[in-house]
Amino acid sequence: MSVYEKLTPVLTKRWLSPDAWRIDVYEQLDGYAAARKALKSHPDDLIALIKDSGLRGRGGAGFPTGLKWGFIPQNDGKPHYLVVNADEGEPGTCKDLPLMTHDPHSLVEGCIIASYAIRANRAYIYIRGEAVHAARRLRSAVAEAYKAGYLGKNIQGTGFDLDLVVHSGAGAYICGEETALLDSLEGFRGQPRLRPPFPATHGLYASPTVVNNVGTIASVPYIVLGGAAWWKSMGTEKSSGPMIYSLSGRINNPGQYECSMGITLRELIELAGGMQAGHQLKFWTPGGSSTPLLAAEHIDTALDFESVAAAGSILGTTATQIFSDQDCPVYATYRWLEFYHHESCGKCTPCREGNYWMVRVYRRILSGEGTYEDLDTLLDTADNILGRSFCGLGDGATSPVTSSLQYFKQDYLDYIERKKAPMLSAKALAGAH
């Protein structure tokens, strides 16, 4: 079997069709057929269909989508909201941006179906501020959908009303955390709220709210048309359907590869044209930098939620960053930590202070001034951040630290024992104390 047969283009299938972002082209390619079908069904049947499909959130956590929709209280007299988290910001993650750029109507169509299922008459797409082109495409798609009668009052004569707003954020990583996102949408500084209560009961404007990732919502029209059994025919028993894997780093053809969940890293690297000449796989992230690094020995790990967890990491956003024997895990971890330190919202002490200090320890080690005690300090600091932070950002920041120390301690020792030339200059060290 050719490795290319491992590709299962579903969400990506229109990406190469010219002008698929225009409604006339989208409709020629089956577009809005699912919305027309769904609006003739009972909302509860749609929730049951999504539950049956086993669809799990594509934003990183993999929470069952149908279950989340089912949490929305019924007949509670409150407005309900759908909020699409399009604030993709996890380092290495780049699957939602091309989807919104090449196929924005699939997200609009998913919003219509999901809003109808959860009885919401208002939906928001919260998109990263930097994603200017994608936001432009989305706004144009929303305007086209209004004009064609897929949004607004009495959609397609069904009596269902839906307004959809595209809201651009201002580029803070923390606003991808769902409750910070809701605060930002309400006009406040984006900082995480205490959970529980979860947005399902106390979300936007304290009303029941479903917050779903772009890929999750864009999957819905395909499930409505193809059925739960078809969706489940791809992937594994507990991780159903296709997934967009974003491959970057030391491979010949970086990009988006949509395959059934459970494909292995070895197969993905083959799909991506193999490792670059002269490079041997050394370490990789299964799903962005917040997921523990894995090593070359994990190359045959199936990339589904359960198998990656069994290997000691998290599937996360399926942002698969590939590093080679010519890359340094200590330096990579330092760069990620600088990111977390910069993006920490400052609300809680373990994350705000812990990341600050860990960055300084890394600068010391990478400048050739590290000590053996620094390794204990890193582990101790990470231990005091993990599980003691207010939101997932703090926890995620510890992943590359502990996993790189687990698999690549010798790389740290090489700096400490002066066996390796310092990666950072004395100038960087000046900020380390």
Binding characters for ligand NAI, 270-289, by CB under 6 A (x = yes): -----------------xx-
Q: Which of 145, 134, 76, 75 is nearest to 110 (CA)?
A: 145
Among 390, 407, 408, 415, the residue binding ligand SF4 under the rule CB under 6 A is 390
Q: Which of 371, 384, 385 is nearest to 340 (CA)?
A: 385
Q: Tokens 């001034």 identify what position?
A: 369
Residue 366 binding ligand SF4, by CB under 6 A: no
Among 82, 211, 311, 348, the residue binding ligand SF4 under the rule CB under 6 A is 348
Binding partner of residue 314 among ligand NAI, ligand SF4, none, CB cut-off 5 to 8 Å per kind: ligand NAI
Among 90, 103, 267, 369, the residue binding ligand NAI under the rule CB under 6 A is 90
Residue type, 39: L
CB 114, CB 220: distance < 8 Å: yes
Please tell me whether the peptide bond between 196 and the residue prior to it is cis, using omega within 30 degrees of 0: yes
Q: Which of 293, 352, 301, 358 is nearest to 327 (CA)?
A: 293
Binding partner of residue 290 among ligand NAI, ligand SF4, none, CB cut-off 5 to 8 Å per kind: ligand NAI
Among 155, 175, 263, 393, the residue binding ligand SF4 under the rule CB under 6 A is 393
Among 274, 346, 387, 431, the residue binding ligand SF4 under the rule CB under 6 A is 346
If you write DSSP's letter for every residue of 348-410 in order, what string do you get? Answer: SHHHHHHHHHHHHHHHHHHTT---HHHHHHHHHHHHHHTTTSSSHHHHHHHHHHHHHHHH-HH
Is 387 buried (19+), middle (13-18) or exposed (0-12) by CB count in 10 A?
exposed
Pairwise CA distance, residues 181 & 422, whole Å: 40
Q: Which of 103, 99, 56 is nearest to 212 (CA)?
A: 56
Which residue number is nearest to ligand NAI in terms of Cβ? 60
Least distance in angstroms from the C-beta of 198 to ligand SF4: 16
Least distance in angstroms from the C-beta of 359 to ligand SF4: 14
Q: Are strands 163-168 and 122-127 parallel, antiparallel or unpaired?
A: parallel
Residue 391 binding ligand SF4, by CB under 6 A: yes
Pairwise CA distance, residues 210 & 220, whole Å: 14
Binding partner of residue 351 among ligand NAI, ligand SF4, none, CB cut-off 5 to 8 Å per kind: ligand SF4
Residue 347 binding ligand SF4, by CB under 6 A: yes
Q: Among 8-16, 149-157, 258-266, 346-354, which window interacts with ligand SF4 (CB under 6 A)?
A: 346-354
If you write DSSP's letter for every residue of 247-276 in order, what string do you get? Answer: EEESBSS-EEEEEETT-BHHHHHHHTT-BP
Considering only residues 155-194, where is the footprint of ligand SF4 by CB under 6 A?
Answer: 174, 192
Length of the chain: 433
Q: Are strands 319-324 and 281-285 parallel, antiparallel or unpaired?
A: antiparallel
Identify which of residues 31 and 192 has a Cβ nearer to ligand SF4 in the complex. Answer: 192
Residue 23 binding ligand SF4, by CB under 6 A: no
Pairwise CA distance, residues 392 & 174, whole Å: 9
Residue 290 binding ligand NAI, by CB under 6 A: yes
Among 93, 191, 219, 256, the residue binding ligand NAI under the rule CB under 6 A is 93
Considering only residues 311-340, where is the footprint of ligand NAI by CB under 6 A?
Answer: 314, 316-317
Among 54, 66, 110, 199, the residue binding ligand NAI under the rule CB under 6 A is 199
Among 146, 160, 198, 331, the residue binding ligand NAI under the rule CB under 6 A is 198
CB crowding 202-240: b at 16 or more within 10 Å, else e? bbbeebbbbbbbbbbbbbbbbbbebebeebbebbbeebb
Identify which of residues 71 and 372 has a Cβ nearer to ligand NAI in the complex. Answer: 71
Pairwise CA distance, residues 59 & 313, whole Å: 16
Considering only residues 209-228, where is the footprint of ligand SF4 by CB under 6 A?
Answer: none
Residue 211 binding ligand NAI, by CB under 6 A: yes
Positions touching ligand SF4 (CB under 6 A) are 174, 192, 344-348, 351-352, 389-391, 393-394
Residues that bind ligand NAI (CB under 6 A): 59-61, 63, 68, 71, 88-90, 93, 176, 178, 198-200, 211, 287-288, 290, 314, 316-317, 392
